[in-house]
Chains A and B, each alone.
Chain A
Amino acid sequence: MNASPITTLDPPRPAAPSLQPPPHRPSAWRRHGTTSLLATGIVLVILLSAGTGPLATSLPEAAKIITGHLIPGMAWMSDGSITVSQDQAVWNFRLPRTLLAGIAGASLALAGALLQTNVRNPLAEPYILGVSAGAGVGAVLAIVAGSTAMAGIGLNAAAFLGAAGATVLVYLLAKQGGIIAPSRLILAGVALGSLLAAITNFLTITTEAQNVYSVLFFLLGSVSAASYGQLVLPGLALAVVGIYAMARSRALNAMLAGDETAIALGVNVTSMRRTLLLATALLTATTVAVCGGIGFVGLVVPHAVRMIVGSDHRRMLPLVVLGGALFLMLTDLLARSVAQPAEIPLGILTAAVGAPFFLWLMRTSGARAAGVGQ
């Protein structure tokens, strides 16, 4: 919308042909540099995480254990240089939790990026849809009532059902005449989220004291109990949505310019918005069901990436996925090493680390040029 009420005295500029053609992709080196930096960082953090913990394991030992499991027939796996407990700690505990942190971070960041484009609001993050609040209700019900009372449904399944239920509700509430208006979606999500949070809080305050810690631990987010089996669903969701989003990245670019423009450029905005909403909910629900409520990743990572490579989804989405993964892997490493042997819930650290970093980034000149100051 051109809000300028004044008639701008914009002198007609002669079509002065510049002698040098402008550089086509000025940020190419930046993008490739960032991609390789993030990829290297992810490998390093996986190794570092595998080698960090109460049971002493050196980095080479951790690398040996992981390679030994991936490639059969490695000599060091059977010559006694690695103890069984080292092998257990690295392969069965540290690696799955690091991978889960990576998948969760990537999913939440991707969900945030897609949602921000979908509702054309840079302040949106996956949790405003009320999906995580729904997961909270499911999880707390499972903890408070006990798995037996819930017909044998475990904590993760209950959380997923809660998240799925909230998704359906927010979708139905936001839909009117077959169209989902972005503002109605945000309002419905926020209102539903508050309602569900109230239910969660009521259940928490009225349950026995011993349950309160479990509830809080879930609500604040953690990957400490990760197993390989838990990686399957979030990993699948991430792969499916990731491929979809990359394939539709030009249409996503068009949606940034406004609904009317996107329609005129041939994008079916109504169906695109619906699919994106479901994709976001799927990413969030599968992640939250396993990891609990990890906030801030979905808000901060897409913004940081936009400041580095701009808004074009073709450049931005791969970096959002990598950046989200690296950010949450690092946070998890911090969460279990700064206060050893205690663990700090992830949700606390993502905000405690992410907020200052984001505020610093926001005040850099690149961010101002990118319109964050408006």
Chain B
Amino acid sequence: MNVSFENVSVEIGGRRIVDNVSLAVPSGTVLGILGPNGCGKSTLLRTLYRAQKPSAGVVRVDGEDIRTLNGREVARRIAVMAQESTQEFPITVREMAMLGRVPHQRGFGADSAADHELIDAALREVGAAHLASRYFAGLSGGEKQRVLLARTLVQQTPVLVLDEPTNHLDIAFQLELMTLATSRGLTVLTALHDMNLASEFCENVALLRAGRLQGIGRPHEVLDEETIRAGFGVDSARLEHPLTGRPLIAVAKLRAEAPGAQPQANHHTEPLKEHA
């Protein structure tokens, strides 16, 4: 199921967070959205699952404007793994995964045997079956991500949105999670910080800076040294990975003499200004 953004802008409190972004994600491909903190990655993704209303532009899934679909219809097409989880109420892992069935069920009443089988299968697939009766709030960060991924699988949607899914995860599980998420033939949109992770798992990457789309295409086409310097404020070099043979991007602090040099500390708080 293909996804497209057409001239999407988002303004919050007079500030333009996303600025006239147009991009298309073909069905069954993985798009990595890269960019420094505050560049509008999450906000752009939020317009897709209707958590944020664009101030201009249209977001389409399977050719249909998501504003013409109701919440349930969108939730049956798009599953989301975002950075939010409740701590206040006692929710078990099984109950958390079962929430993925909400868009498919109606009314009061028990979950069907098919629902339970789906949840068992999903928890097994992400390696969280042994956690099923634990409370979600008591899990480690990695375990929580496994359960949230299981919930998106249970939701059985053709489109999957991941908002910085690998934060707080150890290296091995970062790779495992990205493999789990991208190997199912789904259309995946994922916000990422790690350029190498993006190059390895994404057919295409989009680079955002200060709300604008700087480039979109194959990872090795978009992520050249100049773009990385402009986009992230770091120097980089492309190497060949000695084990896998894939391109590997090694980053370093900006050298003072480099063109367009800027203090690196800034990029966490403010979107970078345009370079000459």
Partners in one complex: yes
Interface string of A224-268 (1 = CB under 8 A from B): 000000000000000000000011011101101111110111111
With contacts A254-B102, A266-B75 taken as known, whether A306 is within 8 angstroms of B167 at the C-beta atoms is no
Interface string of B118-159 (1 = CB under 8 A from A): 001000111111101101011011111000000000010000
Q: Does B108 lie within 8 Å of A247, measured CB to CB?
A: yes
Q: Which of A13, A14, A254 contacts B99 (CB 8 A)?
A: A254
Q: Does B135 lie within 8 Å of A369, measured CB to CB?
A: yes
Q: Does B141 lie within 8 Å of A8, measured CB to CB?
A: yes
A317: nearest chain-B partner, CB-CB:
B108
Q: Does A257 lie within 8 Å of B124, measured CB to CB?
A: no
B132: nearest chain-A partner, CB-CB:
A22
Within 8 A of B (CB), among A108-124: 120-122
Task: Tell me whether chain A's interface is mostly helix, strand or loop, or mixed.
Answer: loop
Q: How far is it, in angstroms, between the C-alpha of A246 and the C-alpha of B107 when the chains are bound?
A: 8
With contacts A246-B108, A310-B92 taken as known, whether A258 is within 8 angstroms of B169 at the C-beta atoms is no
Q: Which residues of A contact B265 (CB under 8 A)?
A: none
Q: Which of B72, B84, B168 contacts A7 (CB 8 A)?
A: B168
Q: Which residues of A contact B98 (CB under 8 A)?
A: 253
Q: Which residues of A contact B116 (CB under 8 A)?
A: 24
Q: Which of B82, B124, B135 contacts A261 (CB 8 A)?
A: B82
With contacts A8-B168, A15-B125 taken as known, whether A120 is within 8 angstroms of B86 at the C-beta atoms is yes
Q: How far is it, in angstroms, between the C-alpha of A174 and the C-alpha of B83 when the chains are bound?
A: 26
Q: Which of A4, A13, A253, A307 contacts B102 (CB 8 A)?
A: A253
Q: How far is it, in angstroms, between the C-alpha of A267 and the C-alpha of B99 when the chains are bound?
A: 11
Does B17 have its Cβ within 8 Å of any Cβ on chain A? no
Counting contact residues on chain A (CB < 8 A from B), the size range is 35 or more
Min Cβ gap B274→A in Å is 32
Min Cβ gap A179→B in Å is 11
B46: nearest chain-A partner, CB-CB:
A260
Does A10 have its Cβ within 8 Å of any Cβ on chain B? yes
Interface string of A1-38 (1 = CB under 8 A from B): 11010111111111111100110111000000000000
With contacts A8-B170, A264-B82 taken as known, whether A306 is within 8 angstroms of B89 at the C-beta atoms is yes
Would you list 23 pairs from A and B whose C-beta atoms are within 8 A, ordered by A residue? A6-B168, A7-B169, A7-B170, A10-B169, A15-B125, A15-B127, A17-B124, A18-B129, A21-B120, A249-B108, A251-B102, A253-B98, A253-B99, A256-B86, A261-B85, A264-B49, A264-B51, A264-B161, A265-B100, A266-B74, A310-B92, A311-B90, A371-B89
Interface residues of B (CB under 8 A from A): 46, 49-51, 70-76, 78-80, 82-92, 94-96, 98-100, 102-103, 105, 107-110, 116, 120, 124-130, 132-133, 135, 137-138, 140-144, 155, 161, 167-170, 172-173, 176
